[in-house]
Amino acid sequence: MKFYMTPGSCSTGIHILLEEAGLVFEAHVVNLVRGDNLKPDYLAINPHGTIPTLVLDDGTALTDFVSIALWIAKTYPRRKLLPEDPAAAQLALETLSFATRHIHGEGFRRVFTAENYVTKGRDVEAVKAEGREIVTRALETVDGEIAGADYVAGAFSIADAALFYVEFWADKTQMTLPPNCRAHYERMRARPAVRQVLAEEGYR
């Protein structure tokens, strides 16, 4: 398999899942700042120009965080990356979606690409502030949901990889993580696979 990723991005969550599942893959770094994701050779693999992308052994390209995470969990069920209990599985999927679609898609996208949201009467800083407020409120919601739990759905799952990367972004942008999210973040950082991924991606 070939894994197209950018260090410190949302692809870090998938990188963690690949390592947790013990999979063998080739890692290819996509430099977003340089615009590698918009070059013809990459667009031929992923027409959306997004990361992460996972190209399977048969040539099929998975081009979305959620689809890749679910593929890993369902293809390698012995790794137990998705709970067997229906209620726990549903909770994992809801948090996975909330982290990727809302915290990332609505919040951090405004923080990192504020220029795309600038309109008459709203400057870049106002958009960034709006994004940070969205992230803050969303993490407070998650904080209440994971109170008393080591991981989102009891045991480590695909939801925790998604929650981790937005917690990682919050930490790196000097946002205060609420207490349960902070505990989850530190617990994730202590996992061997996470330590390995962060070291490989240049974070010590």
pLDDT, residue 121, reads: 73
Confidence tier at 84 by pLDDT (50, 70, 90): very high
Reported in sequence order, the residue ranges of the chain that DSSP labels E, i.e. its strands, are: 2-5, 26-29, 53-55, 61-62
Contacts of 24 (CB under 8 A, 6+ apart): 1
User: Are 173 and 111 in contact, with CB atoms under 8 Å apart?
Assistant: yes
Q: What is the percent of the chain with per-residue pLDDT over 90, rounded to a whole number?
A: 97
Tell me the pLDDT tens digit for each residue of 135-191.
Answer: 999 999 999 999 999 999 999 999 999 999 999 999 999 999 999 999 999 999 999
Report d(CA 185, CA 190) in Å as an integer. 9
Confidence tier at 17 by pLDDT (50, 70, 90): very high
pLDDT at 204 over 90: no
Tell me the pLDDT tens digit for each residue of 132-144.
Answer: 999 999 999 999 9
- Beta-carbon count within 10 A of 90 CB: 12
Average pLDDT, the chain: 96
Q: Is 27 helix (H, G, I), strand (E, B) or coil?
A: strand
pLDDT at 120 over 90: no
pTM, rounded to two decimals: 0.96
DSSP codes joined into one string, 96-119: HHIIIIIIIIIIIHHHH-GGGG-B
Give the tokens for residue 121. Answer: 């009467």
Domains parsed from the chain with CATH numbers: 2-80 (3.40.30.10), 86-191 (1.20.1050.10)
Burial 178-191 (b: 16+ CB within 10 A, else e): bebbbbbbeebeeb
Q: Is 80 helix (H, G, I), strand (E, B) or coil?
A: coil
